[in-house]
Every structure is written in C-alpha cells, then in structure tokens.
Amino acid sequence: MNIIIVGLGKVGRALAQQLNEPGNNIKVIDLDADKVSAAANISDIMAVTGNGVSRAVLEEAGIADADLLIAVTGSDERNLLCCLLAKKAGKKCETIARVRSPQYSEDADFLRRELGLAMIINPEYAAAAEIARVLRFPSAIKIDTFVKGRIELLKFKLPEDSPLCGMAIREIEPKLHCDVLVCTVERGDEAFIASGDFIFRGKDVISIIAEPKNAFNFFRKINYKASPVHNALIAGGGNITHYLCNMLTKSGIAATVIEKDPVRADALSDELSGVTVINADAADQEVLMQEQIDKAGAFVSLTNLDEENILLSLFARTVNSGKIVTKINRIDFDHVIGRLDLDTVIYPKNITADIIVRYVRAMKNTIGSNVETLYQIIKGKVEAAEFTVREGSPVIGIPLMNLKFREGVLVAAIVRNRKVILPRGNDIIADGDSVVIVSDHLGMHDITDILR
C-alpha cells in the first residue's frame, strides 16, 4: 500500500514506525524540517517538508498513486481539509482524519459521510471508551474485544497472594473449572507466549481470552473483584472527562469531577447532567479526602500533567483499594512507567495509533489479506490478530496438533456459527471461522503466516 502520513507529532511518528512493514510504501509530510529529517532516518520512508494542505506538497508526496492518507496534525480543520484535498487529487485515495474537538464529536458521522472519509478518529473519545470498559470490569488492566464482542482479551496483574501463584497453566481448568485460555505472561522485562507447564508468580501480568461470562467466573474464583464499580472520582475536567462522564452516566456509574479552573468547572457542570463537579485543586490531599477518595470505587487521574497524574494515582493507591486509572500523554517513558504500581495506564496517543493501524491492516484485506482485527498485547513484542478463514486455506480441516506452527504462535480462539471454541489439539479450523491468533511475529497479514 502507498500510505501518506501528514503530521509528525507523537501519533504520526508512531504510525510511521508501525506501518513501515513489507508491502507498505510510507511517505510523511510535516512543516517542521527537524521532524522530517528524523523521520527520514527510518528505513524506506520518504519525508517531505511542507504544508499538507498544499496540493503541490501532496503531489510531491505522490498523492496521485496513494491508497491511503492519514492526517494527524495538531489542527482538526487542517486534517479535514487535507483529507478533502487528497480525495480530489488522488485517484483511489482513502482518508483518515484525527478530529479532537468536542464541538465536532456529534457531527463526526456527518463529516465522515459528506467528506467521503474512511474514518474520523477522536483520541479523547477513544480513551474515554477504554476507561469505561475497565470500570465496568475493574479486575482487568486492559480489555480488547474480538468477533463483535463475543470474545474478550483481558490483561490483569497477579497479586502475590493469588491462588494462581505456584499453579501451572494446565492446572487452571481441572482445579478452577474455568473455560479460559492464557495467552501471554509478562514478568519484568520478559514476555512469554503461554505454555501448559508455565508456573505463575506474584506480580506477573497475564493476558487471557474468554467469553465475557466465563471471564467473570474466572476472576470470581481467583478472588478478584469482577463487578462494575458504582462510583468514580475523576481528577481533571478535560475532553476525556467530558466523554467519560457521559459514558459512565449511561452505565449507571456515579461520577464526581474535581477541576481547578472555575470557568471549565462551570462549563462541565452545565454540560454534564447528573455529574457532581467540584471547583478545587485535585493535587490538594485535603480536597481528595473530603471527596472521599478512600471510599471511591475508582479513581481516574486525567489532568493535563503526566507527573501530576502519576503522583495522584500513587497517592490513591495508598488510601484506596479500588480501581485506579492514570492518563499519560507522553509515550517516551512507557517502559519506566510500566514499573510503577499504577494499575491501568491509558495512553491516548497509543490508542489513536493502534486504531488506525488496525484499520489499515483490515483495509489490506481487500487487497488479498484477511486480517480483521489487531491488537498489541505487549507493545513491540506480541500481537493478537483476528482472521476470517476463507475456502482453500491450507489450515482448514487439519487437527491443530498436526499443523506445523511457527515458534511463538498460539491459536487462542475459534468462533464458528457464533459458538466460541477455546481450541485443543484435536480441534480443526473450518471455512468461515473467525480465528484469534496470538504471536510474537509482528505484522501478520494472513492466517497462513502462522505456519512454518
């Protein structure tokens, strides 16, 4: 695919790196010559200095032959205009625009349809949706869904007193009578594709695949809180908070927001029906205690400062045993942040890049691949991909134990006629099945990529 990325902020750079794989021809555009120069150092990427809303610049970047243009500059209007120009100047170009302002959120579908865009992505809305999912199932650090929600991939951290500690993966089903499949385990800097003999330790970060009802049963049996939270205390009143409160209200979760800007606090109070808005500084511990942070079902730190969010969440952990969610804007130090006891960490920029990469992989489905959905379980190490198996595939009809899989490949789930199968060696893959594959081979495009 010929892909043009306009805007080389954190999202643009992440997209350039993630999409720079065999079969893709990546070109990037930005006004900042230093950013363009840095991008040019990534192998096989052509970089153009200039304004992405200039037809001449788009033509220099090869818009005439582009399959996809992704506009992720800092301006919503510039992104929309860039996509509109690309539709006019390109012969076959699909377009994706990042649009962040809440004033456009209600019109997103209208804008996408009328401007002929393939997708409009709102990072704040996407981040709010991810937070809402984990508040509905607080046992998990992260939740991804496959096959239209029939299967969930849940990541959680194992307490040192968990009944799973010292247990081998193969013992889960006979001892706990739970129909779940363990996919990956993270232990410090190491990442493992699960095998039956693997023995759990405290502080392991584990990913499982299960149907939602079976996941609930599993967490209940290992003494994890599985029911949704009933109330949430939120620090910071930005756009993510605006979207999140609307989602929580619809789910029956009471929300209290602490916002120190009086103008913004008044605006939120007017916009959010049924939400308590406090005009105060969330960095003041007295304020947090007055608002009963110690009794909240969840504490969500969404201020504009990463450092403040981290400190607030660490404080919350000392007084509250409920769900803690922390928003981080900078993605440069995620390996350091991962070592802190922060529970769920939300990176809006990573979420945006992941959604776009997922769409691009699905778009390539029309060119000959058949990947439907894609998630990074362990960043840069392990992916989970959903495939639809087509007639004639070499994996059809052969027991899994007889297929010659590459190392680091796990067939995690098969969905056939809406029935979920957590596969064993005797199971087969059939024409029309949806199959979830977990692998440390990044960039799979076809189900046959799992074979040697």
Quick check: 202 and 162 in contact, CB under 8 A? yes
Please indicate, yes or no, if residue 110 is contained in any of the structural domains. Answer: yes
**Domain boundary pick from 75, 95, 121:** 121
Residue type, 193: I
pLDDT band at residue 365 under the 50/70/90 scheme: low
Q: Measuring CA to CA, which residue among 11, 441, 410 is closest to residue 209?
A: 410
Are residues 338 and 384 both part of a single domain?
Answer: no
| pLDDT at residue number 369 | 43
Are residues 359 and 442 both part of a single domain?
Answer: yes
Please indicate, yes or no, if residue 375 is contained in any of the structural domains. Answer: yes
Tell me the sheet residues that pair with 255: 232
- Its pTM stands at 0.84
**Domain boundary pick from 319, 346, 373:** 346
pLDDT tens figures, 281-303: 999 999 999 999 999 999 999 99
Please indicate, yes or no, if residue 174 is contained in any of the structural domains. Answer: no
Please indicate, yes or no, if residue 339 is contained in any of the structural domains. Answer: yes
Region 97-107: mean pLDDT is 84
Q: Measuring CA to CA, which residue among 433, 441, 431, 437 is closest to residue 408?
A: 441
Residue 39 has pLDDT above 90, yes or no: no
Are residues 276 and 310 both part of a single domain?
Answer: yes
Are residues 93 and 63 both part of a single domain?
Answer: yes
Residue 231 has pLDDT above 70, yes or no: yes
Are residues 342 and 370 both part of a single domain?
Answer: no
Are residues 335 and 359 both part of a single domain?
Answer: no
| pLDDT at residue number 368 | 38
Please indicate, yes or no, if residue 303 is contained in any of the structural domains. Answer: yes
End-to-end CA distance of the chain: 25
**Domain boundary pick from 314, 346, 378:** 346
CATH of the domain at 428: 3.30.70.1450
Are residues 414 and 327 both part of a single domain?
Answer: no
pLDDT tens figures, 199-216: 999 989 999 999 988 988
Domain holding 428, by residue range, is: 355-450
Residue with more model confidence, 42 or 300: 300
Are residues 236 and 281 both part of a single domain?
Answer: yes
In the chain, how many domains are there? Answer: 3
The mean-pLDDT minimum among 131-145, 179-193, 351-365 falls in 351-365
Rg (CA), the chain: 23
The span from the CA of 83 to the CA of 357, in Å, is 17
Q: Are strands 2-6 and 25-30 parallel, antiparallel or unpaired?
A: parallel
Are residues 271 and 323 both part of a single domain?
Answer: yes
Are residues 301 and 361 both part of a single domain?
Answer: no
Are residues 384 and 328 both part of a single domain?
Answer: no
